[in-house]
Structure 1
Amino acid sequence: MSLRILITNDDGVDAPGLQVLLGIARQLSDDVWVVAPDGNQSGAGHRFSFGRELSLDKRSERTFAVKGGSPADCVVAGMTFVLGDKPADLVLSGVNNGQNLGDIVHCSGTVAGAREGTMQGAVGIALSQAVDYAAGLDVEWTNAQTYGAELVRSLMGLEHGKDVYYNVNFPSCPAADVTGVRVVPHQRFSRSPMRYYPSDNAGKFFVAIPETPRPLDEGSDFHLLTHGDSITVTPLSLLQTDADVAGRLDGQLPFTRRR
């Protein structure tokens, strides 16, 4: 039985990274569908457009754009409507223009697309191609193109818990310099990297990440991608309860009976 694949992203349906992901998906299956935002939704996280009407723009037989929709909106529309009674086995999100590392996974629209894919019953995998921003370089898709299909195929060959999704980042080094694949935790920063960033326009500002937070954990995704030339794979969980804290809190909190 052919693997059914749904693709989304947060850079928009016309973004070059989506074409890279299509190339990866078509090496795995001939049953590939695209439902992606009609424009840039970077940083949208897992936002849903509750209370606001959306529409599907059919670009081709298997490609749809959601006008004004987030990646999470797109996965819902794809899994519960476009694909009918046969939802996708695999949801691929990306390939993002730029790395999604550390605490950025919490706000990434790319990662949210994979997360919603897993919540909808598929295997969800987010893929991002790193960019060397310090050197002022443009994105180079070679590593995602070279290693993407093999890596996704390998992940699909594993046993998955129903609550697991994956965040994959490809380094920005030449393809021949890639040192391998490292399964690593995401970097937990001491504080959020998001900052107020003033605009050149009076009275305006951006929310941005002006610099990499320090220190970096040498065993986590941020350091190994940028300094180790490794492809990083981080398994993430839908279960967000801190079981240790929950166990310690049980029976310790005050309770006031209401009359």
Structure 2
Amino acid sequence: MRILITNDDGVDAPGIAIMAEIAAALSDDVWIVAPDGNQSGAGHRFTLGRELALEQLGPKRFAVIGGSPADCVVAGMTHLLGDRPADLVLSGVNAGQNLGDIVNCSGTAAGAREGALQGAIGIAMSQAIDYEKSHTIDWSNATRFGAATVEAILRSKGDEDVFYNVNFPACEPGEVNGIAAVPHQRFSRSAFRYHPSDSHSAFYVSIPETPQPLDPGADFEILRRQNTITVTPFALQQSEARALATLAGMRLSPDRQS
């Protein structure tokens, strides 16, 4: 199995070293193509109309200067890996959880999504942090359970047109309560808000609080309250079937047609 690794925290981030260990337990053909710096929150952005550069940092290890995770996957799958693109694209391990609607802006998730769009199996991985206790990340669960989680997905997956989002809980490894396939938390509103800066007329976009209520059966609560490794499949075909059916009868008003 040929594996391509990317992330959104940068090619030198500690999480990508963890992912390299995970991949090495699965294959001896592992490539790393990642941004040269932090691209958190980049989502599925492509760098269009501006040149990018590849820098080789070692055997099968490259940085894309100024590039996004999606850019990195494209460079790897359609150029660096030649006529044999990766079978599996692993994105992460992200420092901090990627849950609920926040996945929509996640560069980590986008790396896995682009991998799936390019024809590989795409899996995004994140190690949760309990921010109420500490902002220091403990990678123990990603390290201990990462390879087994990938193998579990590969054994169980069907032929659905999806990519997978994985989160490891912030607890001691002995407290991990298995693995579960769960839906993502659909928030009642966007979690992102305007946050004023101390600088005049400046502001931040941040997540000051988690929108409520939370579904006890969705990824956010299963990860936090049950210490379970969560796996959420996301569809690549995003057209909503019920909305299509609802809109099927729509017509232009005759008096509005020119």
Q: What TM-score, normalized to structure 2?
A: 0.97
d(CA) in 2 for partners of 1:161, 1:194: 34
- Of 131, 151, 154, the residue aligned with 2:152 is 154
User: How far 1:153 moved relative to its partner?
Assistant: 1.1
Aligned partner of 2:231 in structure 1 is: 233
- 3-state SS of 2:232 partner: strand
Cα distance between partner residues in 2 of 1:167 and 1:26: 20
Q: Kindly report which structure 2 residues correspond to 1:57-206, keeping only aligned pairs within 5 A, or say none.
A: 57-161=55-159, 163-206=161-204
The whole-number CA distance in structure 2 between the counterparts of 1:249 and 1:258 is: 19
Q: Identity of paired residues, percent? A: 60
Gaps of 5+ in 1: none
Distance (whole Å) between structure 2 residues aligned to residue 192 and residue 155 of structure 1? 29
The 1:162–1:59 alpha-carbon spacing in structure 2 relative to 1, beyond 3 Å, is: farther
What's the TM-score, normalizing by structure 1? 0.96
Can you list the C-alpha shifts for 1:215-235, whole angstroms capped at 9, x where unaligned? Answer: 111000001111111110001
Tell me the amino acid that sits aligned with residue 19 of structure 1. Answer: A
Equivalent pair of 1:118/1:162 in contact (CA under 8 Å): no
Cα distance in structure 2, aligned partners of 1:152 and 1:209: 30
Separation in 1, partners of 2:57, 2:197: 36
Cα offset for 1:200? 2.3
Q: Distance in 2 between matches of 1:61 and 1:149?
A: 22
Offset of residue 201 of structure 1: 2.2
Q: Give CA deviations for 1:40-94 in whole Å, capped at 9, x if unaligned.
A: 0000000000101000010012000000000000000000000000000000000
Q: Aligned with 2:134: secondary structure?
A: coil
Q: Distance in 2 between matches of 1:255 and 1:66?
A: 51
Counterpart code for 2:57: R
Q: Which residue of 2 aligns with 1:37?
A: 35
Deviates further, 121-130 or 178-187: 178-187
Change (3 A) 1:255 1:63: farther
Conserved in 2, the CA contact under 8 Å of 1:90 and 1:123?
yes
Q: CA contact under 8 A between 1:79 and 1:88: conserved in structure 2?
A: yes
Task: Report how many aligned residue pairs link the two structures.
Answer: 257
Q: Is the 1:36–1:66 Cα contact (8 Å) retained in structure 2? A: yes
For 1:248 and 1:111, the matched residues in 2 are separated by 30
Partner residue in 2 for 1:53: 51
Which residue of the other structure, out of 191, 211, 214, is the alignment partner of 1:213?
211
**1:87 aligned partner, one-letter code:** P
SS of the counterpart of 1:191?
coil
Q: Once the two structures are superposed, what CA deviation does each residue of 1:72-124 show, in whole Å capped at 9, x if it has no partner? A: 00000000000000000000000000000000010000000000000000000
SS in 2 for 1:157: helix
Q: In the alignment, is residue 7 of structure 1 matched against residue 1 of structure 2?
A: no
CA RMSD of aligned residues (A): 1.3
Name the CA distance, whole Å, in 1 between partners of 2:243 and 2:176.
39
Q: Distance between the aligned counterparts of 1:168 and 1:98, measured in 2?
A: 11
Q: Could you give the per-residue CA deviations for residues 183-226 of structure 1, whole angstroms, max 9, x where no partner exists? A: 11000001000001112222211111011111111000001111
- In 1, Cα distance between the equivalents of 2:101 and 2:154? 25
Tell me how far 1:161 sits from its aligned partner: 2.6
Q: Which amino acid aligns with 1:85?
A: D
Which ranges of structure 2 fall in alignment gaps of 5 or more residues? Answer: none
CA–CA separation in structure 2 for the residues paired with 1:244 and 1:204: 42
**What's 1:19 paired with?**
17
> Using the alignment, how far apart are the partners of 1:253 and 1:228 within structure 2?
49
Partners of 1:116 and 1:76 in 2: CA distance: 8
